[in-house]
Amino acid sequence: MTSLPRELNGLNVSRETVDRLNTFVALFKKWAKAINLVAPSTLAEVWSRHIADSAQIYALNPGPRIWADLGSGGGFPGIVTGILLAGTGDGWVHLVESNNKKAAFLRTAILETGARATVHAIRIEDAPLVVAECDAISARALADLDLLMEFSLPWAERNPDLRLFLHKGRDYQREVDKALGRWRFDLVKHASVVEPDSVVLELARLSRKS
């Protein structure tokens, strides 16, 4: 059994949650041999890179929230968030993934880990028609900030308290500057616990400039 890496020690999780995460990691490694869930070069760093990177999203916005995880892919951060929510017995994650093979993996992961989540095998543009409301949105290695805001706007218009938690690499400031030309938003930059040059951008009060 694998212990939680040092990067996760700030989260107070139960042994049951650790077991769920171990189950997910084993399943992820098995499926990653057949389908491209993450970059192959990072497979050996599932705990220290992908799990830790995902868990920091929940640490920034803990509690029984309703999440929309866009482009869920290999389950980072959506499945990890769903597993952490399972420890609270409340909250939910709507995993949006249009690739049917990846969606099948996500459904299997939910079944085997008990993650509090549902998979929607649809295009992100269609997700607001299926997922009526959410409290928070997450996305990791998905798209430019401007496009992520476009995806998120329908939910932001329904919920003025919506927050976005977006993993971004070292070039994040360029994306922020570009987005300021079209959007209004409050922004908090959180240093990544995994990559020194990366951040998690927390956005609130999103609206389009007229």
pLDDT of 63 higher than 60? yes
Q: Write out pLDDT tens, residues 6-57.
A: 445 467 788 899 899 999 999 998 888 888 776 665 666 788 778 988 999 9
What span, in angstroms and rounded, lies between the C-alpha atoms of 115 and 129?
A: 23
Q: Which amino acid is at 32?
A: A
Higher pLDDT: 142 or 3? It is 142
Which is it for the CA torsion 188, 123, 68, 18, positive or negative? negative
Residue 40: closest CA among 29, 52, 54: 29
Quote the pTM value: 0.92
Q: Which residue ranges make up each domain of the chain?
A: 6-153
pLDDT at 66: 97
Q: What are phi and psi of 89, to 5 degrees?
A: 75, 15
Q: C-alpha distances in angstroms, 130 versus 7, 12, 123, 124, 154?
A: 35, 33, 11, 10, 12
DSSP state, residue 94? E
pLDDT of 179 higher than 60? yes
Tell me which architecture the domain covering 6-153 has in CATH.
3-Layer(aba) Sandwich (3.40)
Q: Are the CB atoms for 116 and 69 separated by under 8 Å? A: no
pLDDT of 115 higher than 50? yes
pLDDT at 43: 64
pLDDT of 129 higher than 80? yes
Looking at every residue in the chain, the average pLDDT score rounds to 90
Whose tokens are 């079209």? That residue is 182
Q: Write out pLDDT tens, residues 146-159.
A: 999 999 999 999 99
Residue 2 pLDDT grade (very low, low, confident, very high; cuts 50, 70, 90): very low
